[in-house]
Amino acid sequence: MLMAPPPPPKKQDRKKIVIERLNFDEQQVEAYKGLIKVHRTDVESREEGLRIAKEALYAQLPLAPEDSQKDSLLTTITTLQAEIEAIHYNHFADIKNLCTEAQLKDFEALAKDLAKIFAPKGAKKK
């Protein structure tokens, strides 16, 4: 019997993991909290656009829309998802910039685990 992998840590736990693994001091913790606020705002705005585009896409199903309408909505969804991933990537690049020279080795180790630590809820880990 295969055991299901444990779920990713909760958001609060994720923040704690980053702080602890990078050995952030108080000043770095405060800067990190500021980065989190900006990151959440940026992601939430894209996620709202994503939700709206998906609703519009699936609302087209009963209407038998032209392929151009469907393709346009799919392009919008793809673009927004790519923007979200770029926001995530840039967020972690900003976290790296908070690190001292001595912390960069810890950041490299953390970077290898980021996809697992920040996996969406219910995502399977390998």
pLDDT beyond 70 at 7:
no
pTM of the predicted protein model: 0.80
Q: Kindly report the three-state secondary structure assignment for every residue of the chain.
A: CCCCCCCCCCHHHHHHHHHHHHCCCHHHHHHHHHHHHHHHHHHHHHHHHHHHHHHHHHHCHHHCCCHHHHHHHHHHHHHHHHHHHHHHHHHHHHHHHHCCHHHHHHHHHHHHHHHHHCCCCCCCCC
The least confident of 9-13, 19-23, 116-120 is 9-13
Per-residue model confidence (pLDDT) at position 44: 96
pLDDT beyond 60 at 124? no
> What pLDDT, on the 0 to 100 scale, is given for residue 66?
75
